[in-house]
Amino acid sequence: MATITFIGLGNMGGPMASNLVKAGHDVTVFDLSKDAVQTLVSEGAKTADTAHQAAEGAECVITMLPAGQHVEAVYLGDDGLLAKLPEGTLVIDSSTIAPETARGVAEAAQARNIPFLDAPVSGGVGGAKAGTLTFICGGDEATFAKAKPILDAMGKNIFHAGPHGSGQVAKICNNMLLAILMAGTSEALALGVKNGLDPAVLSEIMKQSSGGNWALNVYNPWPGVMENAPASRNYEGGFLVNLMTKDLGLAFDNAVKNQASIPMGSLARNLFSIHAGQGNGTLDFSSIQRLYKPE
């Protein structure tokens, strides 16, 4: 068992930290949300007043933060964690950020002899709660091997994608595809319903046909079709539209830098940006259905 500091207890980070506690690790948590911290404390975690205090004595520091600027603020600079952590402290960042940002943090960590892994996740809030997340890791083999026993407490599929930044590249590719699939699934369901089909029946037909995909199988965007999906909870919780829009922006920026063509990804970015701009940014990303089915 390891002594772990977990920073960032949002919709994903909270359940991830909870699973580390359940696995028997000595976990200290920090977040700006007092309610989120108290939830973890009630489950057996410790807490501290600052991120620096939380990281004191930690063998491993894990962060799950909204964007690249938050990751840089936590780790870099004279007041960042990397300037204070002892050599050899394992650092795992599970935020979804630009690959070059992850590489920048990794370089700063290497200069301090601190092993660093970018390890974004896939699987959503359901996967975070169930401990079945997919971790997509970028870093050297030795750091990956050191981190894997800890990641195993939070995930089912642990991949080593390649050197630093590779985890982020794979993650933004995955989320771009996810956004395309969710928008397309929503569009198809709306067309069927316009023609008088039952959305649940149409969903089942497509699940068993060539249009089957993850959105239909476990995350149906049409309200009432799938009991445990965010769509049946007024799109509350889950993976926020604002975060999907951010990730699609990361994919777009990366495509520009690498002169890659992403026409479908660009369209998905525009659709989610429009949806966010209509006041839906804090809803689950499956609420893109509302673009095709206004309520």
| Residues with active-site annotation | 171
Strand, helix or coil for residue 282: coil
The answer to whether residues 120 and 136 touch, using CB atoms and an 8 Å cutoff, is yes
End-to-end CA distance of the chain: 49
Q: Which residue has the tokens 């699987």?
A: 123
Which phi and psi angles does 212 have, rounded to 5°?
A: -60, 140
Strand partners, 155: 133
Identify the DSSP state of 295: -
- CB burial of 176-202 (b: ≥16 within 10 Å; e: otherwise) equals bbbbbbbbbbbbbbbebeeeeeebeeb
Q: Which of 4, 20, 189 is nearest to 90 (CA)?
A: 4
What tokens appear for 138 in the block?
């970028």
> Where is 117: in which H helix or E strand?
strand 116-118
Residues recorded for the chain: 295
Contact criterion met (CB below 8 Å) for 214 and 185: no
Q: Are 173 and 252 in contact, with CB atoms under 8 Å apart?
A: no
Which of 5, 12, 180, 162 shows the shortest CA–CA distance to 99? 162
Residues 6 or more apart whose Cβ sits within 8 Å of residue 250: 96, 97, 98, 168, 172
Side-chain half-sphere exposure of 21, counting CA atoms within 13 A: 20
